[in-house]
A and B are shown apart, each in its own frame.
Chain A
Amino acid sequence: MSSRSNYNNNSLHSSFKSKSVCQLNCRYCNGVLCRRGMKAILLADTRVELYSTDAAPIGVQLVANDYVTRNCLCQIRDVACLGCGNVVGYHVTQPCEVCMSACNNGHFWMFHNDSVKAKERMDPTGQKPLLWAQLLYHDKSPNSYDDECEIICR
């Protein structure tokens, strides 16, 4: 589980709202893994930097079985890139009490730093980075591949 602050359904702590939204590509096959990435640090080991997201990402799938690391008691399971099958991160299937009570960003999907390439997304003006505050909770649907560019038919 990653980073501080409490996540309360549709309201993110202000420190997360100001973070930029990243698109994450697989470092191995370049396939799109996720369009809602957030740079974060691991709660259980703050030296570890990674990317996290709030909903099941489009380009990955769970593989193998749950396991527990030395850091905490969270049950986690690896996720692999659908393009090349390499393990690119993990999903917290059952968070532990310690992590849940600590300050976290509420994200259960993590990507290893060395497995992904991150690119900041731009806001509709194309000038400034897109911030988490501008992403709406109800847009969280994993299927909405492109959640800010609406195609208008007129």
Chain B
Amino acid sequence: MLPPIQLNGFNNNTAVKYNNVSHDLSIIPSEKLKYNIHSWSSYSQPYHPKNIMVNKPQDQSSRWSSSSNNHMQFVTIKLDKMSIVKTITFGKYHKVHVCNLREFRVYGGLTPNNMIELLHSGLINDCKTETFALKFKTNDIVFPCLYIKIVPLVAWGTNFNFSIWYVELRGHTQQQIVEKAYHEYINYRENEVIRLCLKHFRQRCFLDTFNSLQQLTNIKLEDQLLTNLHTNLVINGDFDTTEEILYRASERNLFDDYIRDCQCKPVWRRINATDKNGNSPYMRGGHQMCIDSELGKIYMFGGWDGTKNLADFWEYDENLEEWTCLSLDTSKDGGPTPRSCHRIAYDSINKQIYVLGYFIETPDISANKESDFWKYDIASRRWIKLSSNTAAKGGPSLICDHQMLIEPKSQMIYIFGGRNQSKNNGEDNYSGLYSYSIKEDKWRLLRSDTNQPEYSVQLKSRIEHAMLINPETNELYIFAGKRYKDFTERKNNYLSDFYIYRIDDDSVIEVSKNYTMQGGPDGGFTQRATMDVELGEIYMLSGLLNEKNSNVDTIKNILWVYNIKKNKWTKIYQNTNYGSEYNNRISEIEPCTRFASQLVYDTKRKVHYLFGGNPGEVIDQSIRLNDFWELKLVRPNNEDILRSAKFHIRKQKYKEICNTGEYLQALKYLQNNVSEVVNHNDENESKEFRELTKFLFNIKQNPNNNPKTNNIQEKNDMLNDVYQERTELYEFLLKYFPNSMKEPLENLVDLVPIS
């Protein structure tokens, strides 16, 4: 049997067609799926796999337990009906148990021998039921399953066998929907096989077969533009038209996907701005900033200067590079008291700023523990107190280190997590997810930390995490931060999980339980995150880190980019050295390491701004920073890509001139046309260019010009060589184009099993 074909990269128009099923699925509620046990690797008496079908947390024997703890263990479930499987829920024993699965994988498919991975995660060793979202579509193709295979990898106790107590699957079984999805999935696979064949035949120059297969099936291998590119480059060898096609493609912004995927280069610039009197904001950490990208204005409020809370309020103009102090103490201007670890959020429609929460020193028992809620109107320069105690109105108690943001169109504010400081009468340690309707002045608790809907992914509350909103999909992205079981626990528990909260249907999707395991950032605290919806990217600057295999916190400035669509983290920047001496020395080149800083992103100008923070100075712990930085992420542009493409095209043309034996012409072409498109600053490219001269001394005899060799075989070989070279060049140039336009990335030959 052939391995499963990966589901990625295919026609745009097909993708649109398949959206229907996904759309249906979001409306219909999922149901519990009936199943039977199909097969298993082993079990020890009396722990038969069929026990996982019933949930009896009190009964130690109501579980599957393997008879070995090697990596060959599995249980395969056969569903009663072919279904679209959306979640898996694991029940557990009523006590902790060493046999619980610390790490496992779940696979699904239509046959037991051909399954794809739906989940890779782990259970917490406690007695709480856990639900995980399963992958049920890739690239908008929904795929139904008949078999689900659970593969234990690691148990909580080493040397112990694996046990699963209870498994519940939820999804859709409605015949109409599942059959529709099934046919679309089968069609998709059939289409992909044809396209793989088309690619293979054309690559191998079986052009008659290629053409007849294309005519018979009427399946397109690629976008017409790329077919033109192929015809001109590979078949006709018309290099000038090839360049012309690429130029037109760049004008249509077709290289944008490629540009987005290119590693960007961070460029830091220190801003030494002041106000008209030469003043600038003092040093601080735990402050707040927000940005008006439209007008290019940044607002900063409050923070901790190392000894006291601040209530100063500043505005920075990006165009003038100038600060303005709006207030030295907002509490004297009818606004909030000095504070730190609060949150502010900016309403881009009404140009208003909201302020909620602050941190109280623990010894300060006399402090007022009521949560005030403020609005600042930029136009009238006026503070408005919306509430002196949000808890009394159904909102959060006094919290700090939470997250707050505004969805401007619906005029809704979302607040998630934070440490609950007015905790008495058995309230939760952590504040849940709240919404606040600006128009109705109404609070709603969407998720409390401890009481969450059954059989759904749990949204664990936390502090100093990141939360962002995608206004296009109306989704909240929640990740990172810190959570103790209770606040007396000293153990670090930095999170590296990632959740999506869908506002429209009030549901939670688990994107990752541990992105560190998937090559993403280490677990951390006080990460600062921003988002560019246009580019589909999230940026995260690390603060305090708890690196793998270490119990010591480190502070590092590491910048990660997360590609939302691809669910992929990439590290793009890290300042490697640590220590105040080094930090001072480079203070004009890049920011020194810090946490509790503030980072905002101007979505219009595509620039980040970083201010202040805590450098984590060991000797003088009251030191805070007041430096202000601009960060640009530089990527190659259309011109860079065109130049590089031309270099490779002209290199090929030059080689082909060499083949004709016209070496004077070849030399001239190398000196003029190739040279002008070489980036001589790029050492590798420059070297490659210099090495091209060797072809001048390696000139092949052109069989057409040589009367002695009328050998057809030899002539064919040479044409074949040229065809192969041009095909390689064609495939190289394809990397600039979006996946949706081009031939499949996979090769038919790779599907041949070697056994």
Given contacts A29-B45, A29-B47, contact A80 B98 (CB under 8 A): yes
CB-based contact A85/B98 at 8 Å = yes
CB-based contact A28/B160 at 8 Å = no
CA distance A113 to B61 in the complex (A): 18
**0/1 per residue, B51-67, Cβ < 8 Å to A?**
00000000011000100
CB-based contact A28/B157 at 8 Å = no
**0/1 per residue, A56-85, Cβ < 8 Å to B?**
000001011000000000000000101111
The residues of B that contact A85 with a CB separation of less than 8 Å are: 65, 97-99, 155, 157, 160-161, 163
At the interface, yes or no: B96 with Cβ under 8 Å from chain A? yes
CB-based contact B157/A63 at 8 Å = yes
At the interface, yes or no: A30 with Cβ under 8 Å from chain B? yes
CB-based contact A84/B157 at 8 Å = no
CB-based contact B45/A86 at 8 Å = no
CB-based contact B96/A84 at 8 Å = no
When C-beta atoms are compared, the residue in chain A nearest to B158 turns out to be: A61
The A-B contact count (CB < 8 A) is 41
Which one of A30, A63, A64, A83 contacts B161 once the chains associate, using CB atoms below 8 Å? A83
When C-beta atoms are compared, the residue in chain B nearest to A81 turns out to be: B160
The residues of B that contact A61 with a CB separation of less than 8 Å are: 157, 159-160
Interface of A is mostly: loop
Number of chain B residues whose Cβ lies closer than 8 Å to a Cβ of chain A: 17
Which one of A30, A31, A84 contacts B99 once the chains associate, using CB atoms below 8 Å? A84
CA distance A30 to B96 in the complex (A): 21
CB-based contact A29/B44 at 8 Å = yes
At the interface, yes or no: B3 with Cβ under 8 Å from chain A? no
Which residues in window 65-122 of A have CB below 8 A to B?
A: 80, 82-86
The residues of B that contact A29 with a CB separation of less than 8 Å are: 44-47, 65
CB-based contact A84/B44 at 8 Å = yes
CA distance A105 to B157 in the complex (A): 30
When C-beta atoms are compared, the residue in chain B nearest to A28 turns out to be: B60
When C-beta atoms are compared, the residue in chain A nearest to B61 turns out to be: A28
CA distance A29 to B155 in the complex (A): 18
Given contacts A80-B157, A84-B65, A85-B65, contact A30 B60 (CB under 8 A): no
**0/1 per residue, B95-112, Cβ < 8 Å to A?**
011110000000000000
CA distance A29 to B160 in the complex (A): 13
The residues of A that contact B60 with a CB separation of less than 8 Å are: 28, 84, 86
A-B complex: 9 closest residue pairs judged by Cβ atoms: A85-B99, A85-B98, A85-B160, A63-B98, A80-B98, A63-B157, A86-B60, A61-B159, A85-B97
Q: Enumerate 24 A-B pairs (CB-CB under 8 Å) in ascending A order.
A: A28-B60, A28-B61, A29-B44, A29-B45, A29-B46, A29-B47, A29-B65, A61-B159, A61-B160, A80-B98, A80-B160, A82-B159, A82-B160, A82-B161, A84-B65, A84-B99, A84-B161, A84-B163, A85-B65, A85-B97, A85-B99, A85-B157, A85-B160, A85-B163
Residues of chain B touching chain A, judged by Cβ–Cβ distance below 8 Å, are 44-47, 60-61, 65, 96-99, 155, 157, 159-161, 163
For the A-B complex with A63-B157, A85-B157, A85-B161 known, give 9 more contacts whose Cβ atoms are closer than 8 Å: A28-B61, A29-B44, A29-B46, A29-B47, A29-B65, A63-B98, A80-B98, A84-B60, A86-B97
